[in-house]
Amino acid sequence: MRRKRHLIALDLDGTLLSNDQTVSEQTKNVLQQAINEGHIVVIATGRPHRSSRQYYDFLQLKTPMINFNGAFIHHPTNNTWERTLHNPFPKETALHIIDACYDFNVQNILAEVQDNVLLDRHDEQLMNIFGTPAPAGISSPFSIGDIRKQLRDDPTSILIYPHAEHVEELKNYLSEHHATMIGLRSWDAPWHMVEVIKKGIHKAVGIKRVADYYQIPQERIIAFGDEDNDLEMIDYAGVGVAMGNAIDELKQIANYVTLTNEEDGVRTFLESYFKYTVKVS
């Protein structure tokens, strides 16, 4: 008997991707088997489109994508998809935040308006991380210089690179002064980044929008994640799966804990859940 259609939502870093930023052929095969069976596979990531599209293409997806932790929901191969949603936060709030960053003497600030990137100070390492790989034919997304002078539109997100000892102080300041407008996320070492997006935006917003489009009920959403930006998505999904390498808070709210990203935890869970038999080389 044919299984009812599920939505499978995949975080990238620390989840679908191994530590060398690749997806195994075995995982690809299992996901292709799910797609062939009629299930909907989507990427749900904090990354922008330009640095997640190569995995979308590798998996041969033809579905919407959730970027910037839900702040940008779109369809990479269908520019007229009617559920496209871009949820930036006000430029005026962003400028106040940037002023505060200068007061805290942060190391750098990066503002993104979808796939256009404003970088406060030239930094090759940050540019390598956030600028590549870009889709073929797309020029460098970076504009470098004082962000206060460059910012013309409401930003999708702002990434702040403070000194490690200032992370909590900066977060507390931003929460105290801008809590009604923004949401904050922290990145782990070595970067100690603080990410700012619009308040109330998270991956669960994106997967609900996509699930509604495909008329898939909440109980048939399978979501995989490992970090604090996956909390709402894992909690919302009918089948929330934490990776073996996930933070403890995520494991506590998940329905299941699978193997780590280095052990193909996504593949092993789906094989078990759907009772697939896949030859592993």
Q: Which of 11, 120, 226, 230 is catalytic?
A: 11
Write a three-state SS string for the chain.
CCCCCCEEEECHHHHHCCCCCCCCHHHHHHHHHHHHCCCEEEEECCCCHHHCHHHHHHCCCCCCEEEHHHCEEECCCCCCCCCCEECCCCHHHHHHHHHHHHHCCCCEEEEEECCEEEECCCCHHHHHHHHCCCCCCCCCCEEECCHHHHCCCCCCEEEEECCHHHHHHHHHHHHHHHCCCEEEEECCCCCCCEEEEECCCCHHHHHHHHHHHHCCCHHHEEEEECCHHHHHHHHHCCEEEECCCCCHHHHHHCCEECCCHHHCHHHHHHHHHHCCCCCCC
d(CA 223, CA 205): 13
Q: Distance between CA 142 and CA 46 in Å, rounded?
A: 18
Determine the residue type at 130.
F
User: For residues 147 and 118, what is the distance between their CA atoms, to the nearest angstrom?
Assistant: 6
Q: Is 11 a catalytic residue?
A: yes
Q: Shortest CA distance to 178 belongs to which of 113, 97, 70? A: 97
The residues assigned a catalytic role are 11
